[in-house]
Amino acid sequence: TPYSGLDQGFEFFFEQNFPGGPLGSLLDAARDFLAADDGRPVFLFVHTYRVHSPYRPDVDERKQRYVELYREASARGFLGPKVAQMPPEITAEMRGLYDQGASELDAEFGPWFEELERSGRLARGLFVFTSDHGEAFHEHGRFLHGDAPHEEVARIPLFLVGAGVEPGDVTFGASLVDLYPTLMVRAGLAPPAGLAGTDLFTLAGERMLFSHTRMRGTHHLGIIEGSRKLLATRPGEDVSLPRDVLAVYDLTRDPLERAGVGADQAVD
């Protein structure tokens, strides 16, 4: 939203009622925008809260069941410090609503994307599909997102389709900071020096990757190097304060982060 400064740099900014109205009307607005193309180069960013809380498992955006479950969990004291004690039946139903919302997103997005393909735009442009974060359903005693960036929160989809893109998988770790230089190069522009990201089409090996969240005055850090991942916290805003290592994981042998070693066993 403009309130968050997301409208900086855009010539045109359209916002539905926060945190997002029906996906169909948003895709219609994107369709109308592209239909008005006058031949100039265009950058279009379409953002939806369709799979964000409050979970809406149907195209009509009804969120009543999510609200009921959330109120029940709150009334029974299972939010805040006791969120890890939330009954599994509430967690399972929440996850079910989330999965249904993702399915409905796919059902509405699919036909829109097929129209985009038929228009020929992808033959001369680049399409990116990604997210800003995932969602936790007590895999590590957490609910929603915002605390330690475990894989269920930090590992997100990233698909690139378009001109000059051969089908295949990039097996090296990627990050959202890579999108800026990747899009710059595809547009024939030189990325500024000193960027943290890398053009994904030239990525030749693993690099150290970082994730970060801040909740209730505490910074949560995630550092990945190869298959090894470290999670740590730091209280307050003072970068000179020491970090408390929570755990270190081997993501090759333990992709769900179930058997991390503690700080006393962490090396380097």
Residues 160-190: tens digit of each pLDDT: 999 888 888 888 889 999 999 999 998 889 9
Q: Which contacts of 159-165 are long-range, i.e. CB under 8 A and separated by 24 or more positions?
A: 159/128, 159/129, 159/130, 160/126, 160/127, 160/128, 160/200, 161/122, 161/126, 161/127, 161/129, 162/122, 162/123, 162/125, 162/126, 162/127, 162/186, 163/122, 163/123, 163/124, 163/125, 163/126, 165/126
| DSSP reduced 3-state for 248 | strand
- Give pTM, 2 decimals: 0.84
Q: pLDDT higher for 9 or 73?
A: 9
Q: Which residue has the higher pLDDT, 179 or 67?
A: 179
Mean pLDDT of the chain: 83
Q: Is the pLDDT of residue 240 over 90?
A: no
